[in-house]
Amino acid sequence: MKPISSVSLLILICLFLTEFHATNARGLINKACETSLHKGLCVATIKADPGYKGAKLHDLAEIVLKAATSKATGLQKDVEQLLKERAGTSVESALKDCKDNYADAVSQLEKSKQALENKRYNDVNTWVTAAMNDADSCEQGFKEQADKDSSIGQKTVIFGHLCSNVLAVTNKAAAEFHATNARGLIKKACETSLHKGLCVATLKADTDYKGAKLHDLAEIVLKAATSNATALQKEVGQFLKERADTSVESALKDCKENYDDAVSQLEKSKKALENKRYNDVNTWVTAAMNDADSCEQGFKEQAEKDSPIAQKTVIFGQLCSNVLAVTNKAAAEYHATNARGLIKKACETSLHKGLCVATLKADRDYKGAKLHDLAEIVLKAATSNGTALRKEVEQLLKERADTSVESALKDCKENYNDAVSQLEKSKQALENKRYNVVNTWVTAAMNDADSCEQGFKEQADKDSTIAQKTFIFGQLCSAVLAVTNKAAAGATVSV
Ligand SMILES: *[C@@H]1O[C@H](CO)[C@@H](O)[C@H](O)[C@H]1NC(C)=O
Ligand SMILES: *[C@@H]1O[C@H](CO)[C@@H](O)[C@H](O)[C@H]1NC(C)=O
């Protein structure tokens, strides 16, 4: 037998890969059209578009939406043509309405395109349904006004089918998107858990996990821990009935109290979680864990053996530990989002927004901060800038003693001495929330820096070598004024 040549082998591999991709694409199209009421049309529409190869469900949704949109545009043109041809006839008014209907439909499908690109699948559903209704209105209106079907009736039916296919395929794409998202989110939520397998399993077992946020996942694990505690509370109660007057009665009585407490603490955690008081969740859940532990410890001491629920208590402890881990993640996300919003607000009126935002973000204290704290952060940055500039001027003065710029540098040194001392006074004022005073001192510091530059120009007939840095110092001071102003407004509101 002749050995297979490498060229033939290559051809075979190519054929195999081509076949493999084709099979894959067919599988995906079938899945995309699975729930469609017009499956044949759905599959044909997708296959007619060369873009379907190597596509994802989301891309297939875009293909069917494109087909529906082009149909709507065609119908809009048809109606316009008919309107021209039949002006002055009995169907003119019905056609005019149809023209409006299709203009709406086309615009709704364009909005759907935007929504689909941004994965706002619910909006796609809303707009495409609206477009279907528009086409329907055209036909209904025609029947009422002209007492017959419009001449585009058949095309309208197909347009309706295309829209219905968009809904079906979008639905599939949305499901895939949410499932992928949810998997990633669960992984993140359980990332630091000591009982990752249980954490992931608890979350996946809950039907609410799809499309949820980290916060919602914290609620799911808390719910699981609470239902576990309630079951254990019941079980201990049952044991207490069965074993009254035995040697374990007293230990079981204590356990019953422990689980009563644990359940009540988990209920408080639920409230705290709802109000995003994540630290309180941590406190209460830790207390519930300790309660379960006390039950076991007490049992060992009093009855000299493990409680009958010892194994279940271990799992309950693991569930609680997972609540702590996931809550921690949710809290971090919450604070980061909050901080971003707060920084935006703090710098809102700043003339140097980029610098303002960058200064705040560069400080690791910004997380979970209040507007007032942000004002302290920018003031700190401006002060350290002013201090550095003072040092620089002192250095220059040493290097250029007895030159033509000595006198100007001497003045600058005084200016920066003043500026730094004014910024230090501002710090005091800010701590005491005397925001107007902050304004006065920071403005004075800005003027000092300005005086240095003015004096330099007058005395030495040129810019100082720190002119560029002075400029940035001025911008930082200006950011301090803007953020302080916001903090002051916030303080007034909250009083
Ligand atoms: C506690 O939760 C675990 C894990 O979800 C579960 O297997 C167990 O049945 C629960 N125990 C009780 C008593 O509800
Ligand atoms: C002043 O602050 C700016 C912005 O934070 C920084 O880039 C610059 O290095 C600082 N200048 C001095 C002299 O510290």
pLDDT band at 495, cuts 50/70/90? very low
User: What is the residue extent of each domain of the chain?
Assistant: 6-181, 196-338, 347-494
Mutate to test the pocket of ligand 2, among 347, 363, 383, 385 (most ligand atoms within 8 A of CB): 385
What is the DSSP track for 31-63? HHHTT-SSHHHHHHHHHTSGGGTT--HHHHHHH
Q: Which ligand is nearest to the CA of 320?
A: 1
**pTM, to two decimals:** 0.64
pLDDT digits (tens, 9 = 90+) for 167-197: 999 999 998 888 888 889 999 999 999 999 9
Locate tokens 């992984």: which residue?
Answer: 187
Can you tell me the distance from the alpha carbon of 361 to that of 344, in angstroms, rounded to the nearest whole number? 11
Torsion angle, alpha carbons of 197, 201, 204, 208, to 10: -120
DSSP type of residue 351? T
Q: Which of 110, 118, 83, 84 is nearest to 97 (CA)?
A: 83
Residue range 240-258: mean pLDDT, rounded: 90
Residue range 55-67: mean pLDDT, rounded: 95
The CATH label, of 3.40.228.10, 1.20.140.40, 3.90.1280.10, 3.90.1720.10, for the domain at 6-181 is 1.20.140.40
pLDDT digits (tens, 9 = 90+) for 268-318: 999 999 999 999 999 999 999 999 999 999 999 988 888 889 999 999 999
pLDDT band at 12, cuts 50/70/90? low
What is the DSSP track for 305-369? S--TTHHHHHHHHHHHHHHHHHHHHHHHHHHHHHHHHHHHHHTTT-TTHHHHHHHHHHSGGGTT-
Can you tell me the distance from the alpha carbon of 440 to that of 436, in angstroms, rounded to the nearest whole number? 6
Q: What is the CB < 6 Å shell around ligand 2? A: 359, 381, 385, 388-389, 469, 472, 476
Q: Is the pLDDT of residue 13 over 70?
A: no
Q: Which of 429, 431, 419, 353 is nearest to 388 (CA)?
A: 419
pLDDT digits (tens, 9 = 90+) for 76-127: 999 999 999 998 888 899 999 999 999 999 999 999 999 999 999 999 999 9
What backbone phi and psi angles, to 5 degrees, belong to 421? -65, -35
Ligand 2 centroid–CA 468 distance in Å is: 10
Ligand 2 centroid–CA 385 distance in Å is: 5
Mutate to test the pocket of ligand 1, among 235, 236, 312 (most ligand atoms within 8 A of CB): 312
Q: Is 231 a pocket residue for ligand 1 (Cβ < 6 Å)?
A: yes
Can you tell me the distance from the alpha carbon of 270 to that of 219, in angstroms, rounded to the nearest whole number? 7
Q: Is 130 a pocket residue for ligand 1 (Cβ < 6 Å)?
A: no
Q: Is 132 a pocket residue for ligand 1 (Cβ < 6 Å)?
A: no
Q: Is the pLDDT of residue 244 over 90?
A: no
Q: Please provide the CATH number assigned to the domain covering 347-494.
A: 1.20.140.40
The CATH label, of 3.30.420.10, 1.10.10.60, 1.20.140.40, 3.40.50.720, for the domain at 196-338 is 1.20.140.40
Can you tell me the distance from the alpha carbon of 408 to that of 329, in angstroms, rounded to the nearest whole number? 56
pLDDT digits (tens, 9 = 90+) for 329-362: 999 888 888 888 899 999 999 999 999 999 999 9
Ligand 1 centroid–CA 69 distance in Å is: 52
- What proportion of the chain, given as a percentage, has pLDDT over 70? 94
Q: What is the three-class DSSP state of 402?
A: coil
Say what the pLDDT of residue 26 is.
87
Can you tell me the distance from the alpha carbon of 69 to that of 167, in angstroms, rounded to the nearest whole number? 13
